[in-house]
Structure 1
């Protein structure tokens, strides 16, 4: 199209009854047109600095960019919430199953509450059917032989990661009982939850897809003794539900506190959200 199409006036012979003299005149006229076109093309490329063919040497010395053109470390605008699954997110090496440098091993972890930005350097891993977040700094830093993950940083971010990992693993029937025994504060709620989990083993597995999409730190006291976190999850095609989870710092790690009926939030049904306004978007699913 365009660049390679033939020009109907580019020199094709036309039909007619002209004499030899007329043909000779036509050839001369055609030659004059061709020469004129060549001269025009030459003038065009010369005026453009020879851009039609590669130059052997540069015609001028490139100027050094002004200092203001150099990149700086200062952001040009407020950063967006990181998306662990976006194509622009740098690939993060999954943390080892067991390490002695992160999670509950960190002596003085940062205490900033993640209210606007998601934890960084996070990888997502399937545990059963759910994707759970893993971070070297926040945890989990250890995994038992039965698959239960533990050892989270004593920080708001560590509490968020602990809550999500616990919720994800408790949905995995193969380790749900071990999770409830090891990752829940002992009490009536734990006993009831274990009994309910055993009963659930005899019922068909719910195939509704559940994946985390965000969180909100509702409360975190200065002494770091407890964290109340709202976890938002996509419930298949039913919408996004938010579950309130209470985590307690107990025996050197974050553990869940269950209500006496064995649930996370008692008789209160999970909220169905119309949007994620007020939540930090945090998801491993695309």
Structure 2
């Protein structure tokens, strides 16, 4: 299973540099749970279940799928060729925050509400989820790691929303927690049901070549004061061949951030993901050395 995928054509490997979809498909990043349209790339997110009693539900007042933000940002597509990443990911040696804390993440009643626009969040530890590095921070979260490995409890802040989105996307790369993370960290709705069905099917036939996707940066597109909804754009290094980015909607619900899927089981719906010509405008943020 993976974050990004696309369809190949009859030209095979020779088109990998001209057509990002061919490259992403050959790497085996098949987003079976959350297929993001017939466009450049697809990004999938799954998450594992602890039981129906813990299942978050997107009600009429909580679901961003039905209530759009009043200041929806407009992204300008890249005009140049895709950027070529060169970093090699490595896990940081910084001591990680405790897996369970009663002070950070969602327990912080007065988190910093500043939107990170230039500098990366400080004091961050990067840990592997399967082959993908995810960020951990004592202040923003995750402050809780369940016995099943699912990470939760993020600060009610712009940075907390970013960490929640990135950790969630990273956990879908870990087959040991992917279905549980989908159940626990995505709001209920038609899209979630479709994603779960696809995730379970994908788990029965895992790809033989998982490829490599690593985070490269982010930008906060939408976060009003005291937000209950956040929209973040996450940029990834795609097998050191290109940068791809996708928009993720997060909802503050019962004391934590949860991802919201569209009714078709995708993050973006009709909004196309981007193949980036550069990381200009993004906060550079990765576990790469």
* TM-score normalised according to structure 2 size: 0.66
1:157-214 Cα offsets, whole Å, 9 max, x none, are 0000000000000121111110010000111111111011011113332512000000
Structure-2 separation of matches of 1:170 and 1:99 = 23
- 2:238 is the alignment partner of 1:228: no
What does residue 9 of structure 2 align with?
none
Say whether residues 1:275 and 2:261 are aligned partners.
Answer: no
Kindly report which structure 2 residues correspond to 1:19-38, keeping only aligned pairs within 5 A, or say none. Answer: none
Q: Displacement, 1:272?
A: 0.3
Rg (Cα) greater in structure: 1
Q: Work out the CA distance in 1 between the residues paired with 2:220 and 2:168.
A: 16
The residue matched to 1:204 in structure 2 has which SS? coil
1:173 is aligned, of 137, 151, 175, to 175
> Cα offset for 1:284?
0.2
- Listed as ranges, the matches of 1:74-223 within 5 Å are 92-205=94-207, 206-223=209-226
Alpha-carbon distance in 1 for matches of 2:271, 2:200: 23
Unaligned runs of 5+ in 1: 1-84
Higher helix share goes to which structure? 1
SS at match of 2:175: coil
Instruction: Quote the residue 1:82 is aligned against.
Output: none
Three-state SS of the structure 1 residue aligned to 2:250 is: strand
The aligned residue for residue 243 of structure 1 is 246
The residue aligned with 1:259 is: 262
Separation (CA, whole Å) in 1 of partners of 2:113 and 2:224: 11
Shift of 1:262: 1.1
| Greater RCO, 1 or 2 (C-alpha within 8 Å, sep 6+) | 2
Q: Secondary structure at the match of 1:201?
A: helix
Displacement of 1:269 after TM fit?
Answer: 3.8
CA drift of 1:91 comes to: 6.1
Measure how far apart 1:267 and its partner are: 4.3
CA distance in 2, matches of 1:145, 1:204: 24
Would the alpha carbon gap of residues 268 and 199 (structure 1) be closer, same or farther in structure 2, given more than 3 Å must change? farther
SS state of the match for residue 247, structure 2?
strand
In structure 2, the partner of 1:36 is none
3-state SS of 1:113 partner: coil
Query: What is the distance in 1 between the residues matched to 2:131 and 2:203?
Result: 16
- State the distance in 2 between where 1:137 and 1:262 align: 31
Kindly state the Cα deviation for residue 120 of structure 1 after the two structures are TM-superposed: 0.3
SS at match of 1:138: coil
SS in 1 for 2:160: helix
Measured on the aligned residues, the alpha-carbon RMSD in Å equals: 1.9
The number of residue pairs the alignment matches comes to 200
